[in-house]
């Protein structure tokens, strides 16, 4: 499943994020990479516990909570605190797979050890596509290769089980936020069917009133969710 979430952030919010990021300290992106991906990763990141990163991260988490599309597609149980990366000219991230389990930084959890199983990966674009060349997110799944380069403020949600890479930036600079989601519905096929069913019901509700058939389908959705969700 690969889902585009348009306008998660407004252009004013993108500008606010970029303002905070531009004054932040950027470090080598290998700090959060696993052993295989460290060799493939050539970019810059904001440190996980940076106050600026946490401020923007809170803004993003708030917007996610109000997005019906994100709620329906992710059925999120836990969201990893958003991270931020930057690819300047010559930087890229070769083919890799994201670590299955991520640990939230102890400095953000009050010392508690909180793990997130990465069911889905998210990239929120913070640079307009006209401002850089290259820098496409390429996701490889069972349906083939998907090339993603979205307007600033748009987000893509995709399966963390996929292999993916970011093509080299050849002009300008590409900034984004990235993070992972542990879903209440671990099985990807079940999660995808729930999303398809919910999308169809929402579409139907705009065409007909809440007939007994629509109520019946809504009940079916919730009963499937009750059957498949961990909480």
Q: Residues interacting with Ni ion, by CB under 5 A?
A: 98
Helix pair 51-65, 11-22: axis angle to 10 deg: 160
Nearer to Ni ion by Cβ, of 35 and 130: the residue is 35
In degrees to the nearest 10, what's the CA dihedral of 113, 42, 147, 65?
30
CA atoms within 13 Å, Cβ hemisphere of 8? 32
Nearer to Ni ion by Cβ, of 140 and 204: the residue is 140
Residue 120 DSSP SS3: strand
Q: Closest separation between CB of residue 42 and Ni ion, Å?
A: 13
Q: Closest separation between CB of residue 185 and Ni ion, Å?
A: 21
Q: Closest separation between CB of residue 230 and Ni ion, Å?
A: 24
Residue 94 DSSP SS3: strand
Q: Is 121 exposed, middle or buried (0-12, 13-18, 19+ CB in 10 A)?
A: buried
Measure the CA–CA gap between 197 and 191, rounded to whole angstroms.
10
Measure the CA–CA gap between 219 and 167, rounded to whole angstroms.
44
Between the two ends of the chain, the Cα-to-Cα distance in Å is 22
Residue number, nearest CB to Ni ion:
98
Query: Per DSSP, what are the bridge partners of residue 158?
Result: 2, 121
Q: Closest separation between CB of residue 212 and Ni ion, Å?
A: 45
Nearer to Ni ion by Cβ, of 94 and 133: the residue is 94
Measure the CA–CA gap between 152 and 124, rounded to whole angstroms.
8
Q: Closest separation between CB of residue 8 and Ni ion, Å?
A: 19
Nearer to Ni ion by Cβ, of 115 and 163: the residue is 163
Q: Closest separation between CB of residue 93 and Ni ion, Å?
A: 7
Nearer to Ni ion by Cβ, of 72 and 167: the residue is 167
DSSP state of 90: T
Nearer to Ni ion by Cβ, of 48 and 98: the residue is 98
Nearer to Ni ion by Cβ, of 52 and 98: the residue is 98
Q: Closest separation between CB of residue 62 and Ni ion, Å?
A: 24
């Amino acid at each position: 499943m690969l889902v585009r979430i348009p306008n998660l952030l407004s252009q004013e919010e993108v500008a606010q994020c970029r303002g905070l990021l531009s004054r932040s300290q950027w470090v080598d992106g290998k700090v959060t990479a696993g052993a295989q991906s460290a060799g493939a990763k050539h970019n810059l990141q904001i440190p996980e516990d940076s106050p600026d990163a946490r401020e923007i991260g809170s803004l993003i988490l708030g917007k996610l909570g109000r997005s019906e599309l994100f709620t329906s597609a992710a059925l999120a149980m836990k969201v990893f605190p958003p991270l931020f990366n930057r690819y300047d000219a010559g930087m890229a991230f070769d083919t890799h797979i994201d670590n299955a389990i991520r640990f939230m930084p102890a400095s953000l959890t009050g010392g508690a050890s909180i793990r997130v199983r990465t069911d889905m990966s998210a990239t929120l674009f913070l640079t307009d596509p006209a401002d850089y060349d290259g820098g496409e997110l390429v996701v490889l799944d069972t349906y083939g290769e998907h090339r993603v380069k979205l307007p600033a403020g748009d987000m893509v949600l995709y399966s963390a089980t996929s292999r993916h890479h970011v093509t080299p930036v050849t002009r300008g600079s590409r900034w984004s936020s990235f993070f992972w989601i542990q879903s209440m519905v671990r099985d990807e096929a079940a999660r995808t069917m729930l999303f398809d069913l919910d999308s169809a019901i929402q579409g139907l509700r705009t065409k007909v009133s809440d007939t007994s058939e629509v109520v019946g389908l809504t009940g079916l959705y919730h009963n499937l969710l009750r059957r498949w969700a961990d909480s």
